[in-house]
Amino acid sequence: MELLAKVLTVSDGVVAGTREDRSGAMLEELLSNAGFRVVERRVVEDGVESVSAAMISLTENFQGLVVSTGGTGFGPRDFTPEGTKLVLEREAPGIAEAARLVSPLGRLSRAVAGTRGTAIIINTPGSPGGARETMSAVLDVIPHALELLAGVSTSHESVKQDSSG
């Protein structure tokens, strides 16, 4: 199964051209190095409606991973989780929880993860370092999750398991 991904940057500054999309570029590189083919990158302004509309568009007839960066904290325009929750069919709290555990600042994240159709959606922070840390924390299970979501695999053998568990 080919691993496909899309990256959504949520940032008023990037949309306005006053900030460089370093997190989106970093996520594209990280995903590519992990064997994903990034088929689209998009930028939208902060807000519930802009995020939910982008998520609907990005996941429509798409089998793969959609990763957002930005809008997951306590800033006055940080509404990426709210926009994402509007379109999720099923939440995947284990993914969001695992991503939060990589850093003490993760406790401030309101990011969510889940599925819509045959796509997995994951929110990550807007900083390149935060996005890298959180995505790296869950990337190992995403190929198996995509197989399960697509009905390709019912075996759990493809997931590397710790011998102590």
Single out the residue of 77, 95, 99, 73 nearest to residue 15, CA to CA. Answer: 77
The pTM score is 0.92
Contact yes or no for 24/9 (Cβ under 8 A) = yes
Question: CATH number of the domain at 4-150, out of 3.30.70.2190, 1.10.1660.10, 1.20.1530.20, 3.40.980.10?
Answer: 3.40.980.10
* Domain boundaries defined on the chain: 4-150
Beta strands in 11-135, from DSSP E residues, in sequence order: 37-44, 64-69, 90-91, 113-116, 119-124
State the Cα–Cα distance between residues 102 and 25, nearest whole angstrom.
21
Backbone torsions φ then ψ of 142, nearest 5 degrees: -65, -45
The pLDDT score that the predictor gives to residue 133 is 96
Provide the residue-wise pLDDT of the chain in tens; the chain has 165 residues.
899 999 999 999 999 999 999 999 999 999 999 999 999 999 999 999 999 999 999 999 999 999 999 999 999 999 999 999 999 999 999 999 999 999 999 999 999 999 999 999 999 999 999 999 999 999 999 999 999 999 985 665 545 555 444
